[in-house]
Amino acid sequence: MEQGTASLPELAHEKSILWRAPLPPSYINFVGRKLLRFILTVQGLGAFALITIGVMVSKFGVAPRVIHPLVRAHLARSGVRLFGMVMFVSFVLGLVVIGQTVSLLQRVNANQYLGVVMVTVVVRELGPLLTALIVLSRTGTANVIELGTARALGEVEALESLGIDPIHYLVVPRVVGMALGIFSLTIYLILGALFSGYLWAFLQDVPLRPGDYLAQLAASLRALDFVTLAIKTSLFGAIIATVTCYHGLAQPLRLEEVSSATIRAVAQSVILCMIVDALFIVIYLVA
């Protein structure tokens, strides 16, 4: 059969034969390699996270005059400098959520659920996740590039030769700064989205007074929301910082490998944040 002349049934038949045929050894090798790489990555990330926690505890009071300014600098980078972008996103998020739900709720005369929708969508889910993704794209990628370049240029060995723990100097400030940054930005994003949500509802002539809207929000919020929001956003920050620092620092890198390390770090950060988010949904369902 010439290539390109097969009919669809013929192609389907060929495909079914391929499905039944044993996998070629090379394919098994491919899957095996992927699996091994996944296990090694999980192991490496876990070990790196444990080492980072160990250093945070054991060197808690070491060189505060050097480490605290670094924490503040990373907090500024992962928080303050992203404030404008986060406020823009929060404004759009309020529009998107309200724009989609108002017409739906009006159709079934259920405007009293506007607050519930905002709390469920913005406070519990999209707020923390969107903030984490913004910080990952703006600061997480920069982490991998900076640390990967520093590693490739031998700066890590230089720190070790000076008796400075690279994890303490390079990783701990990033983890603390990013955890605090995502936590703070999420609060601003949520407040902005709740405000802009009401603004859009007002512009769409939804008969809802500000007091009623706030009452709906207050009624929908539980104490657990505040606790899980703090834990979840801090965890997102810690995860993004740990994964990006791991890919920048943990293995010897050549300069040409920095870009692929950045791609891996972003993908793994997104996956881990999604997994953590899913775990928190389970907590909500159980609690």
In this chain, which of 3, 20, 24, 65 binds other proteins, going by CB under 8 A?
65
Asked whether the beta carbons of 237 and 181 are under 8 A apart, the reply is yes
Between the two ends of the chain, the Cα-to-Cα distance in Å is: 62
Rounded least distance, CB 104 to other proteins, Å: 50
HSE value, Cβ hemisphere, 13 Å, CA-based, for 24: 4
Tokens 């740990």 — which residue?
A: 242
CA distance 181 to 186: 8
Would you say 32 or 252 has its CB closer to other proteins?
252
In this chain, which of 154, 259, 274, 275 binds other proteins, going by CB under 8 A?
154
Would you say 32 or 64 has its CB closer to other proteins?
64
Q: Is 150 in the site for other proteins (CB under 8 A)?
A: yes
In this chain, which of 71, 95, 116, 164 binds other proteins, going by CB under 8 A?
164
Asked whether the beta carbons of 78 and 135 are under 8 A apart, the reply is yes
Would you say 162 or 286 has its CB closer to other proteins?
162
Rounded least distance, CB 159 to other proteins, Å: 8
Q: Is 169 in the site for other proteins (CB under 8 A)?
A: yes
| Piece of the chain touching other proteins by CB under 8 A; list 14-22, 30-38, 57-65, 99-107 | 57-65
CA distance 219 to 238: 31
Rounded least distance, CB 140 to other proteins, Å: 17
CA distance 173 to 38: 27
Would you say 166 or 197 has its CB closer to other proteins?
166
In this chain, which of 159, 191, 199, 272 binds other proteins, going by CB under 8 A?
159
Would you say 70 or 123 has its CB closer to other proteins?
70
Asked whether the beta carbons of 245 and 170 are under 8 A apart, the reply is yes
Q: Which of residues 233-262 bind other proteins (CB under 8 A)?
A: 252
Q: Is 63 in the site for other proteins (CB under 8 A)?
A: yes
CA distance 275 to 279: 6
In this chain, which of 16, 28, 64, 80 binds other proteins, going by CB under 8 A?
64
Rounded least distance, CB 180 to other proteins, Å: 21
The DSSP string of 205-252 is: T----HHHHHHHHHHH--HHHHHHHHHHHHHHHHHHHHHHHIIIIIS-
| Nearest Cα to Cα of residue 178 among 227, 139, 142, 146 | 139
| Nearest Cα to Cα of residue 139 among 182, 169, 170 | 182
Q: Is 153 in the site for other proteins (CB under 8 A)?
A: yes
Rounded least distance, CB 154 to other proteins, Å: 5
Positions that interact with other proteins (CB under 8 A): 58, 62-66, 146, 149-150, 153-155, 157-165, 169, 252
